[in-house]
Amino acid sequence: MSKRTSLALTLAVGLVVWVVAGSLMRTPPDAAAQAAPAKTQADIEQLRTLASNLSLLFRTVAKEVSTSVVYISSERTVKVPAGPSPFQDPEMQRYFGPQFRYFFGQPGEREFKQSGLGSGIIIDADGFILTNNHMVAEADKLEVKLSDGRTFKAKVTGADPKTDLAVIKIEGEVDKLPVAKLGDSDQMEVGDWVMAIGNPFGFEHSVSAGIVSAKGRVLEMTAYESLIQTDAAVNPGNSGGPLCNLKGEVIGINNAIFSRTGGYQGIGFAIPINMATAILDDLKAGKVIERGFLGVRGEDLTPELAEQFGYKGEGGALVTEVIADTPADKAGLKAGDILVQWGDKKVTSFAGLRNDVAENQAGQKVEAKFWRGDKFQTATVVVARQADFEGVTGWLGIEVGPLTEEIRRQIGKKDLQGVVITQVLPDSPAAQKGIEPNDIVISVDRREVRSPDEFQKLVAAKGKEKAVLLHLIDHRTGRAGFVVVSAR
């Protein structure tokens, strides 16, 4: 490059820098602030008043609801193996086969006392308290502490593992109990403000705030779920406490968190209060919760499935199997039907359909709308009592259902009699013996079982004081074996 060209380039660059610098020097130091209209003192005071009113509202709700929140401490006896067994080793089970869990019981056991803490809300002046079932299940001792510091013993009056709800009652007479106001969870929408109140990590009557993040969440922790998701901080110890709206009404019972660490990570879940109010009277009276039963298995309808079935509507649940001799079978429903409406409620998911059916009484007639082939059809379903088709034994921890022809076909035993295990509660006596869902119960104490009702009666007649001998078929191998299950 020549000296003349270099000099010209230097002069050009200098000119550009001079122009830009001059422009910057003439620009006010806070041009952005001047571009926007200035806030007057009146505007600022209005914002302060709004913030102050909002703060007052949160403060008022926290004070009102906190008085009805109780601190629950529980104590239960837990039994664990005293030492390892070679047949519990995964490598041994792979070599010998999983059926060995039926022939070799747990090694010697030892007992210890397990303590728990959580929350609950007072729901009436007689001392009834609503909380989570997992908080009080199998507790030997329950104690509640009120917001004013008074402490009382309590006992469980009713529990429903299928929704993880329970009601406990203060023992003895107690006056001046602050009672929570129960709201309508169906009215809550995503984005609404909510507050969670409880005793996280034992820090009594802690309050956190957030919004409703989502509705209708299903975590498959219990049989019936349509959980409210919130970003209000929920931690261990919040379980059983209220999620409330800014009216001071309880719209949910906190019961779970999503966490990779065991602590709060921005996602908590609560049971809608409407699910609780539907069964509160039965829980207070200690009655068995009665639910409606349809008799189908199914799944949510994806766009891919909808296309395959020629369905162009929104929502719906796909029926994958109709259980023989159930209300669905008698009403003419078939596998491949897409249920779109149950009574006056639209079907948006299979879990939602289950919840809606459960709310019906036995004998109630419900119009079901469904898509089949290339058109919509309707069927009148006479709802049955769920207990007639499913059996749950409290201490044993097993839920069973009827043995269908499809299951018999799958295991190659067309004349087999028994019941199929549909659910095994975690840490239950059955779970500790290695019993799993889809295993088949042939007999109880050497007496043949032909229906869920028979199974339930045989186990209930034995009582939890004595061990029960179950004859089972391992669903993975098809092999039969005996297992002794005891609550001790």
**Which residues does the annotation mark as catalytic?**
134, 164, 239
Which candidate, 181, 190, 187, 188, places its Cα nearest to that of 250?
A: 181
- Given a contact cutoff of 8 angstroms between Cβ atoms, the answer to whether 265 and 152 are in contact is no
Q: Which residues pair with 121 in a beta bridge?
A: 69, 130
Which candidate, 245, 230, 168, 232, places its Cα nearest to that of 206?
A: 232
DSSP string, 190-244: TT-EEEEEE-GGG-TTEEEEEEEEEEEE--SSSSS--EEEE-S---TT-TT-EEE
Structure tokens at 429: 């006596």
Query: Which residue type does 100 have?
Result: F
- Quote the CA–CA distance of 318 and 300 in Å, as a whole number: 6
User: Which residue matches tokens 């952005």?
Assistant: 32
Please count the residues of the chain.
488
Q: Is 292 exposed, middle or buried (0-12, 13-18, 19+ CB in 10 A)?
A: buried
Helix/strand/coil for 31: helix
The beta strand positions in 258-291, using DSSP E, are 268-272
Please, what's the b/e burial string for 228-265 (b: 16 or more CB within 10 A of its CB; e: otherwise)? bbbbbbbbbbbbbbbbbbeebbbbbbbbbbeeeeeebe
- Quote the CA–CA distance of 320 and 462 in Å, as a whole number: 37
The two beta strands, 109-122 and 69-81, are: antiparallel
Which candidate, 103, 473, 132, places its Cα nearest to that of 271?
A: 132
Q: Which residues pair with 159 in a beta bridge?
A: 166
